[in-house]
Every structure is written in structure tokens, then in C-alpha cells.
């Protein structure tokens, strides 16, 4: 396999990959190396890329099926549109601080893994810096794999072997009751996943956690909320976190099975646009290992 020049993003996880042009990556050329780095390090950064939208889509497709949350609302023949994390409106202006669009962006400031609320969660998010701000607007990653490995036994045993329930509207309700009631946040039934996700390639375990989580098996609502907050606080200590300050052309991708992330605020009058594509988990990515089958009636 090709050897790359790597720089750690954090002592516990993540690497910057130097000297690789993502535009030339194919299933046979360089992707096997990228996938191996992904499994080993959980987060990869490629700076100074000129990644065309169609190549962004192709790269995500190499990881797995493209996640499409709008499939039910798209008109016949209407093409998939790459999602954007952006405060830019169609007329080029920016959304107001209390607009629902901005409030939805603010919900991304909560530590989360994408799509834990979907029947098939996501494996990877590939973010591309398109328009960046002069200050703020970082994307922060927290390794729940590194945190789980260092977690004290008394905290581990309170969640190990249990299931966790996830709901999309739950994270939005923390920001705005009105936001949480929008149809787009209530499309899917609650999802029930095991709390720990073992990597099928190397066996390393990670706590599977998100701001969408609202209940832990064996605890009531108040106890669940307190435990989830304690687990999140432990996993997001500075030693487990990498904070990325964006430049145009940066490509940042991470393993949603083992990394939580969040955005950070920026001056909302400044436009910010990141292209974001998630790829869904396949059985070969360990989906069976966290699936909890409904109890027989």
C-alpha cells in the first residue's frame, strides 16, 4: 500500500494526510489506503483540495450508500442535491440569528453523531469547506473510542451492555420547541442501538452517543438525562477533542461510529458554507453488532 506523510490531529485520534489529491481517488486507486487510515485513525483531514461536487459524491459512494433524508419529498426525476451546512439564503443574504434555519444550525453546536435516529445510521460524514468565516465556525471532533478506552470502570459499567434510544426531534427541542415540531424532525420512529460499537476491522470499541439520545435502558427519564450528560462530558474533554478551523478547500471526514462532532458559533452576518455528504453503514461496517432486535410479542 502507498505510504503517506501523516500528522496527528490529536494525540488520541485523527491524522492529516499530506500529498494526496482526492480528485484522482477511485475504488482501485488510493481508496483502499484511505479506508485503512479511516479504520485506524477515525478522522482524516486533507487540506488544499479542489474537490468538485461530483467527485465529492463519488468519494462518499466509495464508503457506502449515499444517505438521502429528502427522498420522500423529492419530486420524480429531481436529482439528489448535496446537503449544505450553511446560513446562506437563496438570495445570497444570511439568515437571522433567531430564524429557524439558524436555530437548526445552532442545534449542531450540541455534541452528536449524525443519523443515530435513522433506521440505518451513517458511517462517515465528508465535509468540504466552500465558504469560510474570518472567526469562529470551527468543527470539533471528539473520539468516543479513545474516551471509552480511558473511561473509569464505575462510569463504564453504568452504560455497558445497555441500549440507548435516539430521536431526531429530541436534539432540536433542546434549542427550540418550535423547531422540534417541524415535520423533517419527526419522520422516523425512535431508534434503539447498543451503547458500544466494536470496529469489525480492529475490534476497538467506541461509545455510540449523540445529542439525539434521550433514554438509556434500565433508567428513568431523569436518570437517563443525567447519565447521558455525564458520558458526553467525559468524552468531550480536551484530550479527546480536535478543533478544526476551516480554510476553503479543506476536506474533513470522520467515523460516525467512533467520533462525535459539533459546530461552533460564528458572526451570523458572515456567510459560511460547508458541503456535507453522509454515507450509510453497511452490514460489513458492524451494523449487526449494535442492532437490538425488538422483543418477540
What confidence tens digit (pLDDT) does each residue in 143-156 have?
999 999 999 999 99
Domain covering 12-290 assigned CATH 2.102.10.10 in the classification: no
The larger pLDDT score, comparing residue 1 to residue 56, is at 56
The three state secondary structure string of 171-191 is: HHHCCCHHHHCCHHHCCCCCE
Does the structure show a pLDDT above 90 at 48? yes
* Residue 296: pLDDT band with limits 50, 70, 90: very low
The answer to whether 103 and 175 are in contact (CB under 8 A) is yes
* Residue 99: pLDDT band with limits 50, 70, 90: low
Does the structure show a pLDDT above 50 at 195? yes
Does the structure show a pLDDT above 60 at 97? no
Q: Where are the domains of the chain?
A: 12-290
- Lookup: cell for 81: 442535491
Give the per-residue pLDDT at 157. 98
Mean pLDDT of 249-262: 98
Mean pLDDT of 250-259: 98
* Residue 295: pLDDT band with limits 50, 70, 90: low
Mean pLDDT of 76-81: 86
Q: How far apart are the first and last CA of the chain?
A: 50
| 244 exposure class (CB count in 10 Å sphere: 0-12, 13-18, 19+) | buried
Mean pLDDT of 181-206: 94
What confidence tens digit (pLDDT) does each residue in 113-167 have?
999 999 999 999 999 999 999 999 999 999 999 999 999 999 999 999 999 999 9
Range of lowest pLDDT (16-30, 194-208, 256-270) = 256-270
The three state secondary structure string of 21-79 is: CHHHCECCCEHHHHHHHHHHHCEEEECCCCCCHHHHHHHHHHHCCECCCCCCCCCCCCC
- How many of the other CB atoms lie within 10 Å of CB of 125? 26
Give the per-residue pLDDT at 102. 64
Give the per-residue pLDDT at 91. 76
DSSP state of 296: P
Any residues with CB less than 8 A from the CB of 149 and at least 6 apart, and which?
Answer: 204, 205
Q: From CA 105, how far away is CA 236, in angstroms rounded?
A: 20
Give the per-residue pLDDT at 100. 60
The three state secondary structure string of 121-151 is: CEEEEEEEEEECCCCCCCEEEEEHHHHHHHC
DSSP state of 119: S
* Residue 297: pLDDT band with limits 50, 70, 90: very low
pTM of this prediction exceeds 0.75:
yes
Does the structure show a pLDDT above 70 at 291? yes
The answer to whether 129 and 248 are in contact (CB under 8 A) is yes
Q: Report the mean per-residue pLDDT for the chain.
A: 92
Angstrom CA distances, 74 to 68, 89, 120, stand at 10, 20, 20
* Helices 31-41, 53-63: inter-axial angle, 10-degree rounding: 60
Q: From CA 159, how far away is CA 51, in angstroms rounded?
A: 40
82 CA to centre of own chain: 16
Q: From CA 286, how far away is CA 296, in angstroms rounded?
A: 23
Amino acid at each position: 500500500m502507498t505510504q503517506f506523510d501523516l500528522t496527528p490531529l490529536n494525540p488520541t485520534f485523527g491524522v492529516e494526510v499530506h500529498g494526496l489529491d482526492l480528485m484522482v481517488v477511485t475504488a482501485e486507486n488510493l481508496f483502499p489506503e484511505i479506508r485503512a487510515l479511516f479504520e485506524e485513525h477515525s478522522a482524516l483531514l486533507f487540506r488544499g483540495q479542489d474537490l468538485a461536487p461530483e467527485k465529492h459524491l463519488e468519494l462518499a459512494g466509495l464508503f457506502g450508500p449515499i444517505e438521502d433524508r429528502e427522498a420522500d419529498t423529492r419530486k420524480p426525476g429531481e436529482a439528489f442535491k448535496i446537503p449544505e451546512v450553511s446560513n446562506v439564503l437563496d438570495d445570497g443574504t444570511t439568515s437571522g440569528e433567531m430564524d429557524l434555519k439558524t436555530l437548526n444550525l445552532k442545534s449542531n453546536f450540541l455534541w452528536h453523531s449524525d443519523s443515530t435516529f435513522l433506521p440505518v445510521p451513517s458511517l462517515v460524514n465528508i465535509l468540504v469547506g466552500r465558504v469560510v468565516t474570518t472567526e469562529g465556525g470551527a468543527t470539533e471532533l471528539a473520539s468516543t473510542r479513545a474516551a471509552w478506552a480511558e473511561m473509569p470502570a464505575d462510569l463504564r459499567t453504568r452504560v455497558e451492555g445497555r441500549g440507548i434510544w435516539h430521536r431526531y426531534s429530541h436534539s432540536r427541542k433542546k434549542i427550540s420547541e418550535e423547531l422540534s415540531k417541524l415535520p423533517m424532525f419527526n419522520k422516523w420512529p425512535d431508534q434503539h442501538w447498543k451503547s458500544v460499537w466494536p470496529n469489525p476491522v480492529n475490534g476497538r470499541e467506541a461509545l455510540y452517543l449523540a445529542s439525539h439520545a434521550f433514554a438509556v435502558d434500565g433508567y428513568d427519564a431523569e436518570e437517563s438525562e443525567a447519565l447521558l450528560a455525564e458520558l458526553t462530558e467525559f468524552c468531550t474533554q480536551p484530550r479527546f477533542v480536535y478543533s478544526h478551523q476551516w480554510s476553503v478547500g479543506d476536506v474533513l471526514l470522520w467515523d460516525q461510529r467512533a467520533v462525535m462532532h459539533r459546530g461552533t458559533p460564528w458572526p451570523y452576518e458572515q456567510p459560511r458554507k460547508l458541503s456535507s455528504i453522509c454515507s450509510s453503514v453497511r452490514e460489513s461496517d458492524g451494523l449487526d453488532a449494535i442492532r437490538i432486535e425488538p422483543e418477540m410479542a
